[in-house]
A and B are shown apart, each in its own frame.
Chain A
């Protein structure tokens, strides 16, 4: 299997605080991988490293064979947990911004998605509801034909009705030539779409397994297992 993401012995400390303690993780092509753990478990540090935002770390990281940085980022479509689109942009300006910025952006796809949600193109992003803003952002991110999609807390702030929409948007637009690394602490809604679950606890991987295998072997849902593993933490 082709590896879209390879992490080997990643270690990162901020002064005396060890945020990530020597983790290794592969993400294979065509897989949707959940990076699961409570706040402070190291999810954000891992994502920042992949995105090339941290340079002083130990270990090796490669995205489609390229080390983190500008070149690697061309292959990554990133949904941050807080909006990265200037909120004074109108929706159609955000579309052209993405079209200018990313060679692999499919504007037609984004427009179709936004139309299906009846999102007015001439409205400023800040005039949209919080849920709508998240949908716009996800539509833009999923309209790229990237190798690696990193979705940081994609359902964190939206109401349960919008969650279903977001999950089906992810599935509908998932590029099987790529892979998705999805970080969340809300497991129940997301678990039917995950192939692999990675549990992060205090900067270490405590579980990395096929989700269906977990259900089969333990007779419990990922959500239940998560609560069990993290019962003293969350």
Chain B
């Protein structure tokens, strides 16, 4: 999860997106302790104040909460996590479709291209070519 941010966009927003995806996927499990601001900043190679801002926003959004003495945790509210898990694929598809259209592809042609691609995949999800 480290580095490789798009420097054209606010980095705190990109960290928020990545952490939301991690919560949705269960990489950050409900109730799990979140590393300290400093450790996370190092992991991602970003400024600690930027990381602090991301975590504060995630807290405001209800995905994280702070236990006053022991640190930050992922929400234990499973309904929130499930809702997220439903939203993330939607967002990925949205981004993908937007990119394809931007590339010049007609929306109705996209599903066909996707199934062609999937047919060429092995069980590990790797494209094995034609």
Query: Which A residues form the contact surface with B (CB < 8 A)?
Result: 30-32, 164, 167-168, 171-172, 174, 176, 188, 191-195, 212, 215-216, 219-224
A217 to chain B, nearest CB (A): 10
**In this complex, what residue of A is CB-closest to B39?**
A172
Q: Are A215 and B45 in touch, CB under 8 angstroms?
A: no
Q: Is B12 an interface residue (CB 8 A)?
A: yes
Contact of A221 among B7, B12, B53 (CB under 8 A): B7
Q: Are B8 and A221 in touch, CB under 8 angstroms?
A: yes
Q: Is B129 an interface residue (CB 8 A)?
A: no
Contact of B46 among A30, A164, A193, A219 (CB under 8 A): A193
Q: Are B45 and A192 in touch, CB under 8 angstroms?
A: yes
Q: Are A223 and B48 in touch, CB under 8 angstroms?
A: no
> In this complex, which of B5, B10, B42 has the most chain A Cβ atoms within 10 angstroms of its Cβ?
B10
Residues of A within 8 A of B8 (CB): 215, 219-221, 224
Residues of B within 8 A of A176 (CB): 48
A219 to B50 CA separation, bound complex (whole angstroms): 17
Query: Which B residues form the contact surface with A (CB < 8 A)?
Result: 3, 5, 7-12, 41-42, 45-50, 53
A167 to B2 CA separation, bound complex (whole angstroms): 13
> In this complex, which of A171, A176, A188 has the most chain B Cβ atoms within 10 angstroms of its Cβ?
A171
Contact of A212 among B3, B12, B42 (CB under 8 A): B12
A212 to B8 CA separation, bound complex (whole angstroms): 9
A231 to chain B, nearest CB (A): 18
Contact of B47 among A168, A194, A219, A222 (CB under 8 A): A194
A116 to chain B, nearest CB (A): 13
**In this complex, what residue of B is CB-closest to A222?**
B7
Contact of A31 among B3, B12, B49 (CB under 8 A): B49
A215-B8, A215-B9, A221-B7 in contact; A32/B47 too (CB < 8 A)?
Answer: yes
Q: What are 8 pairs between A and B in contact, CB < 8 Å?
A: A32-B47, A168-B45, A171-B42, A174-B48, A192-B5, A192-B46, A193-B47, A212-B11
6 more A-B contacts (CB under 8 A) besides A168-B45, A192-B11?
Answer: A167-B45, A171-B42, A192-B45, A192-B46, A216-B10, A219-B8
Contact of B53 among A191, A194, A212 (CB under 8 A): A212
Residues of A within 8 A of B10 (CB): 212, 215-216
A221 to B10 CA separation, bound complex (whole angstroms): 9
Q: Are A195 and B49 in touch, CB under 8 angstroms?
A: yes
**In this complex, what residue of B is CB-closest to A32?**
B47
Residues of B within 8 A of A171 (CB): 41-42, 45, 47-48
Residues of A within 8 A of B5 (CB): 192
Q: Are B47 and A30 in touch, CB under 8 angstroms?
A: no
Residues of B within 8 A of A195 (CB): 47, 49-50
**In this complex, what residue of B is CB-closest to A224?**
B8
A191 to B12 CA separation, bound complex (whole angstroms): 13
B38 to chain A, nearest CB (A): 8
> In this complex, which of A194, A215, A223 has the most chain B Cβ atoms within 10 angstroms of its Cβ?
A215
